[in-house]
A = this chain, B = another copy of it.
């Protein structure tokens, strides 16, 4: 499993390849939140989300002969792009299985990074069977989106940076609110902070109706969501907490936070106005929790995990909440 040594090794492999993203803040945003809010802007990461870190960490950990046979991933778009660009830069063939209802910008960019995109119809096609056949035929290695020790280690590099940048900003004890799907980023950050900033505690943030992590943490066991789709937060709609991630978050994270789609969109509009950041809905849920939830301290750090959003949706957000 992932530990701080593995996270440090992943961070070393990412050095010079991933971007050290800034920790932002804005006085007028603090006023709205009623607390100090620092934003780790992973939307500015290469490929527009933190997923590049995990993709690069996983691919760079493969034996060269395995990597050169190629990799495959299932993703609605951010993991897809992270794996696709990592594969292109490391010379690995790459197949991405994506649902037809993924945001168009994510499908287009995944192709533009050089990946072969195979689309499936959500709820009709058996994506696992499609992937298994392709993997068997071509000898591809599956890169999981979160239940993989190297992927978690790569995402954990965000935690190392949060610890260092928060210290530079004079932040001591703080909740670190993390946008949560399967829990790979939350887990990597929690493990990094345990070593580097033990006074900071991870809190997961999820969209209403897809709060499997919050309910699982409360129940002490992995629970699923009632539905597979139905939120605009496409990037973080996972069926259940991960097998590797849940035990770590049970040990290290506080209670999970939940926000509505409207709150996520309000956070997107405020990030537009006060931070100059383009966020996608799933990348704005942690900021939304920091802005609109009472159950947090005076100083919070949140992840802005992704910025890959179709222009039409962004226009709607600005029209309704800008």
Residues of B within 8 A of A315 (CB): 315, 318-319, 322
Q: CB of A109 within 8 A of chain B?
A: yes
- Supposing A27-B85, A28-B109 touch, asked if A311 and B278 sit within 8 A by C-beta, the answer is no
CA of A307 to CA of B276 in the docked complex: distance in angstroms? 6
Q: Are A276 and B314 in contact (CB under 8 A)?
A: no
Bitwise interface map of A from 299 to 322 toward B, beta carbon under 8 Å scored 1, else 0: 000000001000110110011001
Q: In chain B, what residue has the closest Cβ to A311?
A: B322
Using C-beta atoms within 8 Å of the partner chain, give the interface range for chain A: 35 or more
- The closest CB in chain B to the CB of A304 belongs to B276
In the complex where A276-B307, A278-B272 touch, is A24 in contact with B19 (Cβ < 8 A)?
yes
Q: Which residue of A48, A113, A311 has the most chain B CB atoms within 10 A of its CB atom?
A: A311
Residues of B within 8 A of A26 (CB): 46
**Consensus secondary structure, chain A interface:** helix
Which of B19, B275, B318 is the one whose CB lies under 8 Å from A311?
A: B318
| Residue in B20, B28, B46, B105 whose CB lies within 8 Å of A273 | B105
Specify which chain B residues have a CB less than 8 angstroms from the CB of A278 in the assembled complex.
272, 276-278
Q: What's the Cα separation between A105 and B279 when bound, in Å?
A: 19
Which of A19, A276, A307, A315: most chain B Cβ within 10 A?
Answer: A276
Once bound together, how far apart are the Cα atoms of A279 and B275, in whole Å?
Answer: 11
Is A260 positioned at the interface, with any CB of B under 8 Å from its CB?
no
Q: A272-B278, A273-B311, A314-B318 are in contact. Are A112 and B22 (CB under 8 A)?
A: no
Minimum Cβ distance to chain B for residue A174 (Å) = 19
Name the CB-closest residue of B to A89. Answer: B27
Q: Tell me if A166 counts as interface (CB < 8 A to partner B).
A: no
Q: In the complex where A22-B22, A278-B277 touch, is A314 in contact with B272 (Cβ < 8 A)?
A: yes
Contact with B along A274-292 (1 / 0, CB 8 A): 1111110000000000000
- In whole angstroms, how far apart are the Cα atoms of A306 and B67 in the complex? 42
Cβ contacts A15-46/B at 8 Å (1 or 0 each): 00001111010111001000000000101101
B112 and A28 form a contact (CB under 8 A): yes
A115–chain B nearest beta-carbon distance, Å: 13
User: A307 to chain B: closest CB distance in Å?
Assistant: 3
CA distance A279 to B28 in the complex (A): 18
The 6 closest A-B pairs by CB, nearest first: A311-B322, A276-B307, A311-B318, A43-B276, A276-B278, A315-B315
Q: Give A residues with C-beta under 8 Å from B.
A: 19-22, 24, 26-28, 31, 41, 43-44, 46, 48, 85, 105, 109, 112-113, 269, 272-279, 307, 311-312, 314-315, 318-319, 322
